[in-house]
Amino acid sequence: MTGFGAADGNVGGVRISVELRSVNHRFFNPSIKLPGALARWEPEVREALRQRVTRGHVTLSARIDRPESGGPVIDEAAFAARAAALTALQQRHGLGGTVDVATVLRMPDVVRSADPESDDVGSVEELVAIVLAATGALLAAREAEGGRLAEVIRERMLVLEAAVGRIAVRSPERVVAHRDRLREAVRELLDGATLDEQRLTQEIALLAERIDVGEELDRFASHLAAFRDTLASASETGVGKRLGFLLQELLREANTTGSKANDAAMQREVVLVKEELERVREQVENLE
């Protein structure tokens, strides 16, 4: 499922911003981009994501935020120590001149760059807390999208149910039509000879059994009810995989019904059912 979430907070002495984006994927597939100072905590971040997100390609990016005016930083403690040391040397050795600012600033470690990689960035718990906050926003966005997709799927389910209902109505009519055609064909072949009604009845019964789709329609209705119940459930582990399995079973029953149909009207409805199942499958792949 697609979605976006962001959060920020303090980790040690720095401000960290985390952004999460997700796109459709059958499995959980994370991509984590952390600054060098945070890279050692990638396993903990990955595990925090895995516990909250079960499907989707999830991209996490984190950055260390600094004021735009950031630049070289003067270490005042080092400055004071270097100035005191130079003054003491000057007095001890009777040197002339004065200790000026420029001289002290040229001393080692007095001026350093504002390098985020060298800062104390706190603890992994602080970082994971920000990641979880961003994940919460991501999941909220995905949940809203899931609600919209569920409505689309329910509309497709209505089309499916209507087509299956028409198949159920046509199925006994088709048996009667086959029976009448068989009787007429036998009479033409006998050309006035005596018709063995008992044998003909047996053949018609065998034909009816071969083309009966009652069991397939019953199983289809059962799978469809399970599909609706799953779609309406609030499973913590997600519903996408179970819905995918139920779609496979629905397609199996549709294929069997089509192979038994031997009737143009029923075949048209079976084709419609399979088309709708494919449309539903495309949407289910977007659900967690």
Q: Could you tell me the CA-to-CA distances from 122 to 4, 38, 43, 76, 116 in Å, in that order?
A: 26, 10, 16, 23, 12
CATH architecture of 3-69+122-140: 2-Layer Sandwich (3.30)
Measured CA to CA, the distance from residue 195 to residue 49 in angstroms comes to 75
- For the cut 80, the answer to whether the pLDDT of residue 151 exceeds it is yes
The amino acid at residue 253 is E
pTM of the predicted structure, to 2 decimals:
0.57
Question: Is there a contact between 46 and 28 (Cβ–Cβ < 8 Å)?
Answer: no
Domain ranges within the chain, ordered by starting residue: 3-69+122-140, 73-112, 142-284
Q: What is the pLDDT of residues 205-254, one digit of tens each?
A: 666 667 778 788 899 989 999 998 888 876 666 787 888 889 999 999 99
Average confidence score pLDDT of the chain: 82
pLDDT of residue 1: 65
